[in-house]
């Protein structure tokens, strides 16, 4: 039988990556889909009266084989894809969408759920059981259980089409990203670039069998180039190439796909009785409604815009004084921001990088997790990997109980999408009195080691690692009964709290001293540097806040109204960015065709949640600052009320149980330098 459909016999039932071949996936999916259907049928055909156990709990534990296969496959498609995997995804996605519809539109199954839901007050259910029951009832209603057969069929068609459109969107972005190279042969064009960046570009050129240096749109190559390259024309070329991803006259153009996706999402929402896709999504978010989101973003815009305009004016004057520039363009943003930061704080990322060796930073994250939550990370070599670069760890608690498997995938390569994310290969749940522990992964794109240097991180990459590690802690420390509510299965505008709060430790002397050590001398990062890191934390924060708000407003514009009259993407974007634009528009660039968060990821109508979660994390971290950043009581409250509870309780209740009150916006404004005490 297909190895993917057998119980995994590797250590901790980990995925047997080395034994998996691409041709196994479609048969495995077909098998697991049929198995899931049988599990659903057994619930529906049970002649006994519907109870919580034989209906709700049984539904939660159905499809576990399919979930594991899906986790393996789609994580590979993000981190280790190829044409064959992408083609398999196109075959599999409609099948999974159809199964999802088969379940949520199964009226006989819904009747079982409703029968239990209607008597919930008499069943003496504990909190997690009641949450699970309510979630299933609402999920079924929200996804068409009460529609007539004609409308159910319409919903099936929409969901099937959306599943393939989203996949195609992501494939196009990756294809355009991988197709571009900036090949430089004149050493004079490299002025300003850091030694490590040059070394990586030279190694890439060698791999391609070319002379000189190759730069790409992958972040470890792109970001240093636009930040440090003195050659303005080449900064422009690279910036424009990034802005043209999936927005150029080739087979990867996503304009039509964007319009199809937003219109299908709108049709779907209307079919289900909602005004817009945003109304549908936000019903199950802390923010509740498009009106609330727009009010939140507008309020932040009012606070941030004056500061952003002042910062932009300062940056403009600095560029004019430095190089005689009359007009700052988008390809000047990072370059002059870095130079101004160096002048104001005498703080250069290149000075900091020797203190942030990747191995040390990762161990620092582990040490902080130990001090806060009693976790111990043990690197092991007996866990199968999907690429040799992957590092694998067993995670244990102080009582030597196994907590999780942890995978770390840090370096860019062909077939791996840009950015950074946390994901899971296996959920946590308790079945037959056995607490099945999770398998969690973080995936990043950091500069790899070169012939002369280990992998060294910019400070921004340090915070990225801590951010994803915070998500990983949320997954690893999960301790719930049902997989449906486990780990990061929480409201989307709550899921960023564990990740964003972890970034705060990167700015604290007590934490930095644990891991910020020079890779050659072992010297701890100088106090002066720590002071400057803290002082510069709010540097150009008004502009950064405005940028995030602009993305949230664009997301809400696409999804918070009827999109049928939108004919062209570019004019629509210009209109949405009008209140937040600082730099002149670039005619042949657009954001939406490569805005993967909302068109390929899970953030449609939810991009605002990054800023929303910043309010939560700033308020939460003030509690740590008040009591001590390694205070065991505060850490235990955070672990017990936030990290371990998953989606078993409404997030505001969880937050208040931790903090003792609802979050206030003032800590965020204070941290960002937008509020003067």
Spatial distance between the Cα atoms of 475 and 487, rounded to a whole number of angstroms: 4
User: Average pLDDT, stretch 401-413?
Assistant: 97
C-alpha dist (Å) from residue 197 to 178, 194, 213, 229, 450: 18, 5, 10, 10, 10
What is the separation, in whole angstroms, between the first and last Cα of the chain?
Answer: 67
Whether residue 610 is predicted with pLDDT greater than 70 in this model: the reply is yes
Spatial distance between the Cα atoms of 317 and 330, rounded to a whole number of angstroms: 15
Spatial distance between the Cα atoms of 59 and 29, rounded to a whole number of angstroms: 19
- Name every residue whose Cβ is closer than 8 Å to that of residue 647 and which is 6 or more positions away in sequence: 131, 135, 484, 485, 486, 489, 490, 491
Least confident of 7-11, 379-383, 559-563: 7-11
pLDDT in tens, 159-170: 999 999 999 999
Spatial distance between the Cα atoms of 557 and 526, rounded to a whole number of angstroms: 46
Sorted by where each starts, the structural domains of the chain and their CATH numbers stand as: 3-104+106-146 (1.20.1050.40), 180-243 (no CATH), 354-538 (1.10.1370.40)
Mean pLDDT, the chain, rounded, equals: 95
Give catalytic status of residue 468 as yes or no. yes
Q: What percent of the chain has pLDDT over 90?
A: 91
R_g over Cα of the chain: 25
pLDDT in tens, 338-366: 999 999 998 888 889 999 999 999 999 99
Spatial distance between the Cα atoms of 635 and 252, rounded to a whole number of angstroms: 47
Q: What tokens were used for 373?
A: 């939550």
436 contacts 430 by C-beta, under 8 angstroms: yes
Q: What percent of the chain has pLDDT over 70?
A: 100
Q: Is 30 helix (H, G, I), strand (E, B) or coil?
A: helix
Spatial distance between the Cα atoms of 663 and 676, rounded to a whole number of angstroms: 19
pLDDT at position 7, please? 83
Spatial distance between the Cα atoms of 377 and 394, rounded to a whole number of angstroms: 6
User: Average pLDDT, stretch 578-589?
Assistant: 97
Whether residue 556 is predicted with pLDDT greater than 70 in this model: the reply is yes
pLDDT at position 677, please? 47
Whether residue 654 is predicted with pLDDT greater than 50 in this model: the reply is yes
Catalytic residue among 468, 508, 541, 573: 468
Whether residue 23 is predicted with pLDDT greater than 80 in this model: the reply is yes
Whether this prediction's pTM lies above 0.75 is answered by yes
pLDDT at position 493, please? 86
pLDDT in tens, 51-68: 999 999 999 999 999 999
A 10 A CB-CB count for 11 gives 13
User: Average pLDDT, stretch 574-597?
Assistant: 97
User: Average pLDDT, stretch 309-332?
Assistant: 96
pLDDT at position 602, please? 86
Whether residue 676 is predicted with pLDDT greater than 80 in this model: the reply is no
pLDDT range class, residue 249, cuts 50, 70, 90: very high
- Name every residue whose Cβ is closer than 8 Å to that of residue 1 and which is 6 or more positions away in sequence: none
Spatial distance between the Cα atoms of 555 and 592, rounded to a whole number of angstroms: 9
- Name every residue whose Cβ is closer than 8 Å to that of residue 397 and which is 6 or more positions away in sequence: 374, 375, 376, 403
If you search the block for the tokens 């802690």, which residue do you land on?
Answer: 473
Spatial distance between the Cα atoms of 12 and 302, rounded to a whole number of angstroms: 51
259 contacts 566 by C-beta, under 8 angstroms: yes
455 contacts 448 by C-beta, under 8 angstroms: yes
216 contacts 209 by C-beta, under 8 angstroms: no
DSSP 536-566: GGGTTHHHHHHHHHHHHHHHHHHHSS--TT-
Whether residue 28 is predicted with pLDDT greater than 50 in this model: the reply is yes
pLDDT at position 1, please? 55
- Name every residue whose Cβ is closer than 8 Å to that of residue 322 and which is 6 or more positions away in sequence: 336, 339
pLDDT at position 10, please? 86
Q: What tokens were used for 558?
A: 């696409």
pLDDT in tens, 271-283: 999 999 999 999 9
pLDDT at position 17, please? 95
A 10 A CB-CB count for 547 gives 15
Spatial distance between the Cα atoms of 95 and 97, rounded to a whole number of angstroms: 5
């Amino acid at each position: 039988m297909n190895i993917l459909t057998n119980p995994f016999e590797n250590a901790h039932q980990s995925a047997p990556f080395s034994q998996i071949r691409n041709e196994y996936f479609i048969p495995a999916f077909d098998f697991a889909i049929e198995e899931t259907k049988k599990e659903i049928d057994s619930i529906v055909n049970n002649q006994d009266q519907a109870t919580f156990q034989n209906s709700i709990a049984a539904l939660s534990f159905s499809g576990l084989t399919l979930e594991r296969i899906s986790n393996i496959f789609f994580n590979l498609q993000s981190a280790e894809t190829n044409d064959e995997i992408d083609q398999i995804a196109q075959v599999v996605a409609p099948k999974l969408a159809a199964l999802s519809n088969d379940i949520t539109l199964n009226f006989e199954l819904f009747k079982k759920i409703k029968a239990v839901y209607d008597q919930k007050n008499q069943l003496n259910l504990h909190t997690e059981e009641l949450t699970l029951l309510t979630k299933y009832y609402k999920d079924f209603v929200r996804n068409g259980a009460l529609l007539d057969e004609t409308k159910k069929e319409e919903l099936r068609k929409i969901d099937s089409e959306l599943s393939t459109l989203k996949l195609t969107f992501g494939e196009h972005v990756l294809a355009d990203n991988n197709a571009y190279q900036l090949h430089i042969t004149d050493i004079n064009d490299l002025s300003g670039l850091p030694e490590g960046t040059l070394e990586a570009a030279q190694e890439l050129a060698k791999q391609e069998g070319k002379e000189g240096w190759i730069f790409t749109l992958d972040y470890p190559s792109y970001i240093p180039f636009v930040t440090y390259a003195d050659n303005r024309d080449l900064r422009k070329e690279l910036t424009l190439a990034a802005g043209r991803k999936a927005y150029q006259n080739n087979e990867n153009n996503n304009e039509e796909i964007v319009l199809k996706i937003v219109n299908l999402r709108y049709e779907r929402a209307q079919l289900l009785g909602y005004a817009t896709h945003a109304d549908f999504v936000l019903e199950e978010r802390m923010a509740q409604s498009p009106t609330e989101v727009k009010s939140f973003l507008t309020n932040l815009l009012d606070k941030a815009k004056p500061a952003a305009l002042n910062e932009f004016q300062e940056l403009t004057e600095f560029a004019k004084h430095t190089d005689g520039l009359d007009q700052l363009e988008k390809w000047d943003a990072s370059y002059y921001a870095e130079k101004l930061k160096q002048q104001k704080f005498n703080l250069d990322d290149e000075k900091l990088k020797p203190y942030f060796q990747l191995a040390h930073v990762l161990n620092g994250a582990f040490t902080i997790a130990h001090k806060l939550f009693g976790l111990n990370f043990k690197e092991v070599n007996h866990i199968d990997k999907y690429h040799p670069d992957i590092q694998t760890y067993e995670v244990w608690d102080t009582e030597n109980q196994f907590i999780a498997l942890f995978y770390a995938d840090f370096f860019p390569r062909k077939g791996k999408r840009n950015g950074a994310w946390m994901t899971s290969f296996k959920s946590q749940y308790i079945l037959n009195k056995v607490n099945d522990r999770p398998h969690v992964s973080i995936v990043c794109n950091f500069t790899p080691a070169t012939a002369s240097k280990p992998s060294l991180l910019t400070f921004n990459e340090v915070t990225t690692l801590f951010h994803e590690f915070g998500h990983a802690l949320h997954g690893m420390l999960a301790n719930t009964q049902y997989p449906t509510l486990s780990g990061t299965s929480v409201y989307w505008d709550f899921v960023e709290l564990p990740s964003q709060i972890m970034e705060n430790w990167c700015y604290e002397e007590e934490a930095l001293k644990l891991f910020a050590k020079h890779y050659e001398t072992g010297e701890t990062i100088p106090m002066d540097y720590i002071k400057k890191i803290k002082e510069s934390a709010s540097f150009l924060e008004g502009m950064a806040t405005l940028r995030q708000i602009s993305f949230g407003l664009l997301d809400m514009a696409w999804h918070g109204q009827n999109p049928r009259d939108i004919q062209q993407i570019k004019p629509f974007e210009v209109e949405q960015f009008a209140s937040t634009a600082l730099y002149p528009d670039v005619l042949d660039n657009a954001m939406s065709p490569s805005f993967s968060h909302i068109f390929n990821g899970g953030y449609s109508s939810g991009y605002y949640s990054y800023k929303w979660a910043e309010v939560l994390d700033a308020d939460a971290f003030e509690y740590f600052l008040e009591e001590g950043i390694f205070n065991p009581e505060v850490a235990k409250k955070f672990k017990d009320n936030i990290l371990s509870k998953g989606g078993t309780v409404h997030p505001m209740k969880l937050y208040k149980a931790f903090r003792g009150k609802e979050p206030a916006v003032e800590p965020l404004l204070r941290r960002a330098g937008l509020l003067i005490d």
